Amino acid sequence: MLEDVNSILNSGDVPNLYEQVELDLIEKTFKKTITEKGLEITPLNLFSEYLISVKRSIHIVTAMSPMSSEFRT
């Protein structure tokens, strides 16, 4: 879990999270944005634009309670 949280904080993404259907939706959604920026439509450019969008709007709240002995160990 901490590795996933670290990935989110560093890059805005969790590796291997998306299925092909979701990647196709990302491609469809960000194709226009990539074209407007004058960039070549590649999977890398599409996913990079998606991550920029995610980073702009992501909010993370982490709450932990140090009250239990399980947390201390």
pLDDT digits (tens, 9 = 90+) for 6-62: 877 777 777 788 899 999 999 999 999 999 999 999 999 999 999 899 888 888 777
pTM beyond 0.85: the answer is no
Strands (E), the chain: none
CA distance 52 to 47: 9
CB atoms within 10 A of CB 46: 20
Q: What is the pLDDT of residue 31?
A: 94
Q: What is the pLDDT of residue 15?
A: 77
Domains of the chain, by residue range, sit at 2-72
CA-wise closest residue to 13 among 46, 55, 41: 55
- Whether the Cβ atoms of residue 60 and residue 13 lie closer than 8 Å to each other: no
